[in-house]
Structure 1
């Protein structure tokens, strides 16, 4: 399979290249690394809604959620110990990204980072599946977090560096598609295993994370390394040979020379972490922090890793809550396919706008529906059928809006805007901020639901409004611009151009907008 055409740069250069089979296969296999993240997002909320799991590890929560007459409906699962089980993974992912994954990815290559991530995740899944006490659960979660830190560090960079700029958005979205598939598979697994007699199905759910980990391990062994990474490691002949293969043409001299020049410039940077604080990298630093922050404050993880708990809290039965989580997971996958088609056609900002507005409307409607049914007392145990259908429908529409906007774009934009000399360090900041706020939301959600009740959805909707304003005024359009020329985007931006040094090439890009 190959697509014709050339890769046009923003400053008038044209890099010859096709969408080759080698690139497509490599990107699909690498993107499977996202499945480990998605599987964990989906599986953790499911097992924490299973009675047998709660009874063995969190008996106080089990007793509270069974005491229907004495406990506010919003507060049945409010337990810091229970949320620590979920959120400990994200603290581990934060530290692994900051202190290990960044160095491995930069110095030893994207492939090795994916391999290490898969191995750590596999070990964590095994321990969780065999857990006998909370300590084993937490140790397993920490190892899973280390694995996700390595995977989320390497995979988006790998995809952006392998893909021709014309197809970079669609191919990078394979990572988000893999995450959504992992969530859907985890929701299906939870539904099936919850039916097992004897109450040990949660072990299969948690231990099943070994499967996506093995995909990542095996895939990383056979993937080609990116030309950018090979050049960074001093293997220029191998890098040029690989560039010829992935572009499918006979002459890649101009693109190769630009990659080498970028690498040489990056080698002069002795302290990439310190460099991030320089004025000329202010736009990238702001994006590395705010985009992952905004991605998490949409409230999506309230739905994704607490979906069964959330649905059960607002009146669904155990089986119905798992079924509803499967439905939202399926919508997530379908909507991501829409994003793959639209991102390189309509651009990044158009999807941010549309998805954001869609999420705001749905969050407000869900807040109204839950508030009308439960009020602030939470004294209704079962939703009427009409209310239940309406809530699931609007949550699905909300999930679709996220799945073709802040979900994939939160990873794509970050992976394409960083220059090579700070790319690994900046990506590490992105992953760390993402994991930190994922941890915060995971740790505080059940407490916030207990105290803020249906107003929690309004809280998240407010931040989505702020996000749309941020995108409009501060985020440039990056559609179709080669990574090597991305510095010109900031040079021509109405706000950020004041921070960029004058030594950046003066020519303005043709395809970017403030």
Structure 2
């Protein structure tokens, strides 16, 4: 805490340096997760050849990380409430470190799977806690920008993974993929030391009754004494209201009970919305594109291995650039407009990709227009997905839960996210072999239509509102229907 210095600028809308630095350090762990996802896309080509494994084993290798991340995300909620947001991020970094070293060692398939499982636990912890920590230290004016940093870092990590595939793929078959996977251990060490110097979440401190510590942190992450005191008062008022409600009910209700058995109105609706947006993020097929893009490009007509990996790099550049654009638009345009535009673009791109791949797959001549349509639609899909659905899923989840159930609720949402991720990554090859690859992407397009309708009717705008105001908004008797 002492390593951050209070900004002297008094304008409440100016981005606070300490809050920004803390969010950037915390978000760095997402680069490792993104790298692991991106590098596996190309590494699977070499792993299959070296270890002589089949498509079913490849699907299991791709999806097991997300099944283990499901366990991690469900555990992370209670862990972060107990030991704090900062130390949960450190725990995630340690798991990444162990998993990366084991995958880099990777003498055989079982050891590789064990490393992937340990890294998956780290993914679950990181995906749940980093957006929450960032949202809880940010002011309302800049929360969208800072809360989208983890998703930007994931995209940057995916890009670095693709670049690693292209560069390290030139090494010997036995060494290349192991270096690709093992190198992720290096940044994990730096993150552990960086996170120790960050301030703890002021809202977690209030939840633990440490008001003076919370006040000290708010002075660091606010631009003025008045802003810090106002934010502290809002947090304390919400905590007091929740406390008095609990006393009136004359019973102790845990956060799990509030979400599962007799949920308060705000928790019920926020859980419904959070689970829905995480479900549709992966139901629209992003994992099929990111993880299996070499197969898509190969079917589209790119046969050379180096060209396949280079096409992947272009995909990573596109994803990273459009996430960066979204970072600057979230607090200006708003969550809702970006989300609806993004989803409409995704539906169009998936339809075009499905049509293009169907023509390429069933035509003996493989017309150039269909090949061009398939490749361009893949890039367009990534662009539209990255400018809306991708960052807003995580920003929205970090904003809408009441303080008492925020960590546990977000953990459940992330568990749904990882379940869908695993379902898509572990079944994509089997599905496209059954209904064709073009038919599979048309199916994703149909799910995209359902996603757009869900977002339109159930996701209100949260831009510019404090976390306490958002909690009040979701507590109203007449719940918001796409306001």
**Kept after mapping to 2: 8 A contact 1:40/1:209:** yes
Structure 1 residue 351, shift from structure 2 partner: 0.6
**Corresponding residue for 1:352?**
339
Q: Which residue number corresponds to residue 109 of structure 2?
A: 134
Shift of 1:299: 0.6
Corresponding residue number in structure 1 for 2:51: 57
1:389 shift after superposition: 4.1
Aligned to 1:502: none
Residue in structure 2 matched with residue 178 of structure 1 by the alignment: 153
Equivalences for residues 21-420 of structure 1 within 5 A: 21-50=17-46, 53-59=47-53, 61=54, 79-98=55-74, 100-251=75-226, 252-264=228-240, 268=246, 270-277=253-260, 278=263, 280=265, 281-317=267-303, 318-375=305-362, 387-420=370-403
State the alpha-carbon separation in 2 of the partners of residues 3 and 169 from structure 1.
Answer: 21
Task: Give the structure with the larger helix fraction.
Answer: 2
Q: Deviations over 1:222-262 (max 9, x none)?
A: 21111112223332211101101110212333321222333
Structure 1 Cα separation of the partners of residues 464 and 174 of structure 2: 52
The CA distance in 2 between the partners of 1:238 and 1:492, in whole Å, is 32
In structure 1, runs of 5+ residues without a counterpart are 7-16, 62-78, 498-512
Alignment gaps of 5+ in structure 2: 1-6, 247-251
**Alpha-carbon distance in structure 2 between the residues aligned to 1:457 and 1:229:** 42
TM-score where L is the length of structure 1: 0.86
For each residue in 1:441-494, what CA deviation from the matched residue of structure 2 results, as whole angstroms up to 9, or x when unmatched?
A: 111011111112111111011111111111111111111110011123235685
- Find the counterpart in structure 2 of residue 505 from structure 1: none
* Cα drift, residue 212 of structure 1: 3.8
- Aligned length, in residue pairs: 464
Q: Distance in 2 between matches of 1:291 and 1:235?
A: 33
Partners of 1:109 and 1:148 lie apart in 2 by 17
* TM-score of the two chains, using structure 2 as the length reference: 0.91
1:45, 1:309 within 8 Å by CA — same for their partners in 2? Answer: no
Inter-partner Cα distance in structure 1 for 2:188 and 2:301: 35
Structure 2 residue 445 is matched with structure 1 residue 470 = no
Residue 193 of structure 1: how far off its partner (Å): 0.8
Q: Does the 8 Å CA contact 2:219/2:225 hold for their aligned counterparts?
A: yes
Measured in 2, the distance between the counterparts of 1:481 and 1:335 equals: 25
Partner of 1:165: helix, strand, or coil?
Answer: coil
Could you tell me whether the CA contact under 8 Å between 2:299 and 2:361 is conserved in 1? no
- Looking at structure 2, the residues matched to 313 and 209 of structure 1 have their Cα atoms a distance apart, in angstroms, of 30
Aligned to 1:70: none
- Supply the RMSD in Å over aligned alpha carbons: 2.1
**Contact 1:121–1:143 (Cα < 8 Å) also in 2:** yes
